[in-house]
Amino acid sequence: MSTKKSKELIVLKMILWIYIILCIIIAGINYGYASHASPKAAAFITWFWQFYENWIKTIFIILCSVLTVKIIGKSSRTGKRKRNFIGFIITALIVHIITPVFLNNGEIYFFAMPLPWSTTPLQLLYPESSIYQSHIQSWGIAGISAALIFYLCFSILVIVGTLLFGRQWQCSTLCLFNGFASEVFEPAIPLIGKKKKLKSKMLFALMIVRWVFLGIALFFTIWWILFLSGISIPGIPQVISKVENYKYLTAELLMAMFFWIAFIGRGYCYYCPLGTFLGILSKLSGQKITTGNTKCIQCGQCNETCPMSIDIKSKAMLGESVVNLRCVGCSHCVDTCPTRTLSYSTRFLDAKRFKKHMTDKQAGGR
């Protein structure tokens, strides 16, 4: 690595450390101390947390996207990676800057992850829930309605986009929880030690965890739907809400950051309940990695670069398409393939390519 790239990598690692440390400190103060602080101090903590989550995070996404492209350099194709960065930057500008300013709501990003990832929107429908009570005075009925409308629109966008473009749409374009970090900070991860490839035993363990977390997420979702429907079920809303909040802070937020520090960027993506749900949904879209565009030379670069430890090489040797529930559609393998035998596709993308091919063919025949 050149001296210039080495300096850029150091800067990227420093930003990631800053992001993690500040996130833990500010989140800890916001969730742990703010409720016990004076009204003036609590208001400042909330404002600073929102400012950090919205403005600082967006600046980091833009800056680190540029740094990562420079670090990758001209030695490899970066077309698909740049597409990912552009998607995350646009999403961050809309979710973290434009919409909060337009709606005067600095917490709107909480509503940018569809069910079953979080039941926050469902809890907002219950007037006695802690989230409703903590926001009704500052947001008002109009603000709560706007947040729910934003959530509904974003959910439709994610579902329709997944049916057209596969899991790539959310996990490598829109996700501002773990997806963005795994892409824009990719050269800096892990912060400690070297990149690690997951072994079969670890993959099996994460597969079990994936279905467990999906089950837990569905439990919370179904519980709130039944409760809001007026059906008598065991459980106290305040307790259910706190348990889910602790799950988010520990098994999701802190674990995702732990993966960045000592493991792999996409660590949380292995068991993200929304990712699992969209992985199932992406099967309807016909998502796959096509391996027979040219000739595979078995260099193994696709396996090496895949952040989800998918064995692409073996399929490419046989000319078979790769269909895997873990695939997040990042297309790192497509960019790194020296013979360009790989391509990411869905039925919709195939139809677009075929239409373009026919149009070009007709134009060339004139």
pLDDT tens track for 301-332: 999 999 999 999 999 999 999 999 999 999 99
Q: Chunk the chain into consecutive blocks of 10 residues (it has 366) and report each block's average pLDDT, rounded to whole numbers.
A: 74 95 85 74 85 94 95 75 95 96 92 94 93 88 94 97 96 95 95 86 94 97 95 90 90 92 93 96 95 91 94 93 95 93 93 76 64
CA 203 to CA 95: how far, in whole Å?
33
Q: Does 198 lie in the same domain as 141?
A: yes
End-to-end Cα spacing for the chain: 49
CA 348 to CA 142: how far, in whole Å?
38
Q: Does 133 lie in the same domain as 21?
A: yes
302's CB contacts (< 8 A; 6+ apart) are 312, 313, 316, 333, 336, 337, 342
Residue keyed to tokens 């079920």: 233
Task: Answer whether 60's CB lies under 8 Å from 22's CB.
Answer: no
In the numeric block, which tokens belong to residue 77?
A: 């194709």
Q: Does 303 lie in the same domain as 234?
A: no
Q: Does 203 lie in the same domain as 69?
A: yes
Structural domain of 234: 3-280
Q: Does 177 lie in the same domain as 79?
A: yes
Q: Does 123 lie in the same domain as 223?
A: yes
Residue 323: which CATH number? 3.30.70.20
Q: Does 148 lie in the same domain as 235?
A: yes
Q: Does 30 lie in the same domain as 149?
A: yes
CA 215 to CA 219: how far, in whole Å?
6
Question: Of all residues in the chain, what percent are helix, strand and coil, respectively (each to 5)?
Answer: 70, 0, 25
- pLDDT tens for each residue of 126-168: 999 988 988 888 899 999 999 999 999 999 999 999 999 999 9
In the numeric block, which tokens belong to residue 340?
A: 């360009």
Task: Establish whether the linkage from the previous residue to 190 is cis, with ω within 30° of 0.
Answer: yes
CA 72 to CA 8: how far, in whole Å?
11
Q: Does 215 lie in the same domain as 97?
A: yes
CA 257 to CA 252: how far, in whole Å?
9
- Looking only at the bridges linking them, the beta strands covering 343-345 and 288-290 are antiparallel
Number of domains in the chain: 2
Q: Does 233 lie in the same domain as 86?
A: yes
Which one of 280, 297, 328 terminates a domain?
280
Enclosing H/E stretch for 288: strand 288-290
Which one of 280, 300, 330 terminates a domain?
280
Q: Does 53 lie in the same domain as 156?
A: yes
* Phi and psi at residue 114, to the nearest 5°: -65, 165
What pTM, to 2 d.p., does this model score? 0.91
Q: Does 153 lie in the same domain as 50?
A: yes
Which one of 238, 257, 280 terminates a domain?
280
Enclosing H/E stretch for 80: helix 79-92
